[in-house]
Each structure stands twice: as C-alpha cells, then as structure tokens.
Structure 1
Amino acid sequence: MSTTLIILAVVIALGFMIVSIFNRFVRNKNLVKDGWSNIDVALKRRYDLIPNLVETVKGYASHEKETLERVIQARNAAMAVPPGDINQQIQAENQLQKTLRSIFALSEAYPDLKANTNFLQLQDKLNEIEENLERARRYYNGTVRENNTYGESFPGVLFAGMFSYQHFDYFEADEESRENVKVDFTV
C-alpha cells in the first residue's frame, strides 16, 4: 500500500511539474505578444504620421521624389506584414526607420523646410512616437529575453517541442540604423 502511495505521489508531482512548465511557456508567449501589441500601437501612430510628413517635404523638395517614394514603399511594406509575424515585422520596421532618416537628412539641404512650422510639429510628433516606441521596445525585448532563455534552458528545453515553444527575435536597430547621421532641426 505504501509503495502505491509513493508512486501515486511521484506521478502527481510530475504532473504538477509538467503543468507548471506548460503554463510558463504560455505565460512567456503571452507576455511577448503583449509587449508586441504596445509596439504595434506606436507603429500604427507612426504609419499615420508618415503621409503628412511626406506631403510636407514634397512641397519643398519636389525633385527628391525617389527618397519620398522609398519612404512610402517602406511604410506600405511594413503595414503589409501579416499580423502576428513579429520577426518579419521587425525587419520591415528597420527598413522603414532607415528611410525615415533620409527624409530628415533632406531638411539640411532645404532651410525653408527646416523652418516650416508644420514640418517641425510633425517632427515633434514623430519624436514623441519614437520615445513611446523605445519604451515599448525595451519591455518587449525583456519579455523576449525571458521567453527565449526559458525555452532554451533546462527544464524548458526538454518540453519546448512538445509545448510548441516559439523563439522570438529582439527588436533591435539594424547595423545601418546605428550609424550616426547629423541632422539639426534648430531654426
């Protein structure tokens, strides 16, 4: 009788451990998705701002059509990424960030644009969005670190395949975006 109770206790303990591991996988995945939803809100605000920014620049720099078209193409590509494909969205956002930098670099060549009130207001709004995006990115990357570490370490690695563990990429700036570009928006 006592051997049966010991075996039953071990089976129940293993069952609780497996349920606990499964729940941690679910929790980590949901935290990553929550972190991404915060980023998604900031990205949508950025997408809405870009057409206004392009139109403002277009009025002053009409012969910079290629640069403006690249910005719109990058925006449209980022918006076209299927919902839930976080890793592909990160790549599209890095490309969009790179093209946005080129618009602000244009302002150096066009003093009238740099002094335009509407351009300055749009630039301020974009800065605010970028600050919100940076905070959301830090939270997201923290949840990704926790998720990936648990899925790749013991005991999670033993159950990762069985519980459909998903590895997520960090939302980092690509190498080209890390290069310094001198842009001065002072009037």
Structure 2
Amino acid sequence: MPMFLFMAALAVLFFYGVMLYNSLVRLKHEVTRCWANIDVLLKQRHDELPKLVDVCRHYSQFEQDTLTRVMEARAMLSEAARSANVGRIGELEGQLRGLTGQIFAVAEAYPALKADEQFSHLAQRITQLEDGIADRRELYNEAVNLNNVRIEQFPDVIVASLFSFRPAKPLRFSEAEKRDVDVRALFQR
C-alpha cells in the first residue's frame, strides 16, 4: 500500500509538472504571436512611408531634411527588426513616430500638399497603422508581463529553469515619445 501511494504521488507530480510546462510553452508562444502582430503592422507602415516621402518630395520647397531623416530612421528600424532587438526597436519607433508627426505638422504650411488626395490617403493610412501598432504594443507587453511573472513564480520557476525558459523584453517607449509634441517649435524652423 505505501508503494502504491508513493507511485500515485509521483504520477500526480509528473502530470502537474507537465501541465506547468505546457502552460509556460503557451505563454512563450503568445509572446511570439503578439510580436508577429506588431511586426506585420510595422512592415505595412514601413511600406507606406516611402510613398509619403515621395508625395512630399513633389513639393520642391518641402523640408527635405525631415524626409531624409524619416528614410534613415526607417532603414535603422528595419535592421533592428531583423536582429529582433526589442529595446532598439522601441527607441527607433519613438524617433520615427516623431519624424512622421513632423511631416504632418510641416504639411500644414503647404495647402497644396494638404489638399493632395494621395497625401491625405497616406496620412490617414499611416495614422491608422500607428493606432494599430499602439494597440498591439499593449497586448505584446501584457503577454510579456504574464510570461515573465509566471517564470519567476513558484513552482513555475522550477520548471522554467529546468527547461531554460527566458524572460521576454517588453517594448518600451522613449521619453521623447511620451512627451507632448510642441507644434509651435515645428513651425519655427
């Protein structure tokens, strides 16, 4: 009888460990899925930015320096995305959002550009994509938080350390992105 109880206790522990392992795997893949959703929107927005820059370039007096900086930031962001450097992506995303905001703010001084149908469509599309990215960032960071908490909690920490589960990095925003935009400063160039 004692041997039977011992074997039953071992079986219960084994199945409990399997359930913990499977739930940690599910969380890890949820983080990956949430990141993939962000990545899709980032790629869509990055495809729209060159089109926006091209439309703005047709207006020869439009600020070329801002357009150049947008394309440089886009290239650096693509490189950070390829290397899956979440910290660098967060930093560059803030920079790119700020530069895109500058394009829209400077465009206010160009009535012909503002009236351009293609510019209006691209501005609306990019704004929608940025809203989607912000929503997906929230979901991603929530999944990261759930994953990181679970791999640090007891008894999950035992299973996590046995199978090398690692914490994921949240997507953080730069301080510049969190501050309000000073629109007056954009027009005093």
TM-score (norm 1): 0.84
Q: CA offsets per residue over residues 140-167 of structure 1, 9 Å max, x none?
A: 2221221111112222223332222222
Which amino acid letter does the alignment assign opposite residue 143 of structure 1? A
Task: Give the C-alpha shift of residue 175 in structure 1.
Answer: 1.3
Q: What pairs with 1:21-170 in structure 2 (closer than 5 Å)?
A: 21-60=20-59, 62=61, 64-81=63-80, 83=82, 85=84, 87=86, 88-170=88-170
Structure 1 residue runs of 4+, over 4 Å off? none
Q: Which region of structure 1 is more displaced relative to structure 2, 71-80 or 57-66? A: 57-66
Task: Give the C-alpha shift of residue 45 in structure 1.
Answer: 0.7
Cα distance in structure 2, aligned partners of 1:117 and 1:135: 27
Which amino acid letter does the alignment assign opposite residue 93 of structure 1? E
Task: Give the C-alpha shift of residue 84 in structure 1.
Answer: 7.0
Q: CA offsets per residue over residues 24-77 of structure 1, 9 Å max, x none?
A: 111001011111111111111101100011111222255622221111111111
Q: CA offsets per residue over residues 97-143 of structure 1, 9 Å max, x none?
A: 23222222222333332232221111011122123223322322221
Distance 1:9 1:91, change over 3 A: farther
Cα distance in structure 2, aligned partners of 1:83 and 1:140: 18
Task: Give the C-alpha shift of residue 82 in structure 1.
Answer: 5.1
Distance 1:153 1:61, change over 3 A: farther
Distance 1:94 1:161, change over 3 A: farther
8 Å CA contact 1:113, 1:119 repeated in 2: yes
Distance 1:101 1:168, change over 3 A: farther
SS of 2:161's equivalent in the other structure is coil
Fraction of identical pairs, as percent: 34
Cα distance in structure 1, aligned partners of 2:28 and 2:61: 46
- In the alignment, structure 1 segments of 5+ residues that lack a partner are none
Task: Give the C-alpha shift of residue 22 in structure 1.
Answer: 1.3
Which amino acid letter does the alignment assign opposite residue 103 of structure 1? I
Structure 1 vs Structure 2 CA RMSD: 2.2
Which amino acid letter does the alignment assign opposite residue 113 of structure 1? L
8 Å CA contact 1:56, 1:118 repeated in 2: yes
8 Å CA contact 1:77, 1:92 repeated in 2: yes
Cα distance in structure 2, aligned partners of 1:8 and 1:92: 56
Which amino acid letter does the alignment assign opposite residue 7 of structure 2? L
8 Å CA contact 2:91, 2:173 repeated in 1: no
8 Å CA contact 1:105, 1:181 repeated in 2: no
Distance 1:86 1:49, change over 3 A: same
Which amino acid letter does the alignment assign opposite residue 158 of structure 1? I
SS of 1:160's equivalent in the other structure is helix
Which amino acid letter does the alignment assign opposite residue 50 of structure 2? P
Q: Which region of structure 1 is more displaced relative to structure 2, 108-117 or 47-56? A: 108-117
